[in-house]
Amino acid sequence: MSLSALRSVSAGYGGCEVLRDVSLEVKAGEAWAVLGPNGAGKTTLAKVVAGLLKPMRGDVRVGPLAPNPAPAELARAVAWVPQQTPEGLDFTALEVVLMGRAPHLGPLGLTGAKDEQLAREALAAFDVSALAERRVSALSGGERRRVFLARALVQQAPLLVLDEPTAFLDVRHQVETLHLVRQRVSASLGVLAVLHDVSLASRFATHVVLLAKGKVAAQGAVADVLTTTRLSEVYGIAMERSGDHTFEPRWPT
């Protein structure tokens, strides 16, 4: 089942192209990692996949939705976690996670016991249950990140699009977060995540799209895309491989 499909898409901001002629399809059961150097267009690609940024050229289809869907329709199809989470929200962590239930509520937007149960389960999944009654504005960057991931989880959309989901997280929570997201991938759910750590991406993903200067340098199964030769070319530094999933830059001598 196709969750998002791009055909020859170019996209950017203020008339300036950031992505050029990108084709990509994310299907249920797949975990895609978006990799590439700074400025390669990773966040822009994620926004286009999520239906949040209209292309300058090309075609984007998000699941079965017609072009320009209503916000509630899009929110039922895609859960989006941005790179920068808001810092000044005067809501508790539980209230923020409950906001993820909005696409499934009635006209009055009232949550019930089931919604709160799902929200608390999501907080527990990301190891932030203890923060439920704390104001999000008082949380650290890593804590806010996990709260917003929990909000995406309770949205129950078939496609998760995550822009640097491991930002601000310590090593333990990086691994646990990606493991939890990866466990959710199923015949009815897929994920696309912008990542910086090639080794984490190798363990997390089933597929990789590797960007360089706004274009697709390679895409496909992890084993086919993540080679030391290709990574060295794209990142501009010699890369070495240690084991099945560990990639490291070769330090200059």
Residue 100 pLDDT > 80: yes
Residue pLDDT, tens place only, 141-158: 999 999 999 999 999 999
253 pLDDT band (50/70/90 cuts)?
confident
3 vs 64: CA distance, rounded Å: 8
Q: Is 138 exposed, middle or buried (0-12, 13-18, 19+ CB in 10 A)?
A: exposed
222 pLDDT band (50/70/90 cuts)?
very high
pTM above 0.85, yes or no: yes
What is the DSSP track for 135-192?
Answer: BGGGS-HHHHHHHHHHHHHHT--SEEEEESTTTT--HHHHHHHHHHHHHH-BTTBEEE
pLDDT, averaged across the chain: 93
206 pLDDT band (50/70/90 cuts)?
very high
Tell me the CA distances in angstroms from 64 to 1, 8, 32, 158, 184, one per residue in order. 10, 19, 20, 11, 21
Task: State both tokens at 144.
Answer: 């806010």
103 pLDDT band (50/70/90 cuts)?
very high
Residue 82 pLDDT > 90: yes
92 vs 143: CA distance, rounded Å: 12
Cβ(225)–Cβ(219) under 8 Å?
yes
Could you tell me the domains of the chain? Answer: 2-63+158-249 (3.40.50.300), 92-157 (no CATH)
148 vs 24: CA distance, rounded Å: 26
Using DSSP, state whether 229 is helix, strand or coil. Answer: helix
Residue 38 pLDDT > 80: yes
250 pLDDT band (50/70/90 cuts)?
confident
149 vs 198: CA distance, rounded Å: 21
Instruction: Name the H helices within the chain.
Output: 42-49, 71-77, 93-98, 113-125, 141-154, 171-184, 198-204, 222-225, 228-235
* pLDDT of 162: 98
- Name residues whose C-beta falls within 8 Å of residue 45's C-beta, 6 or more positions apart in sequence: 11, 19, 22, 24, 34, 194, 209, 211
16 vs 248: CA distance, rounded Å: 33
133 pLDDT band (50/70/90 cuts)?
very high
156 vs 248: CA distance, rounded Å: 36
Residue pLDDT, tens place only, 168-189: 899 999 999 999 999 999 999 9
Question: Which of 95-99, 108-112, 202-206 is the least confident region?
Answer: 108-112
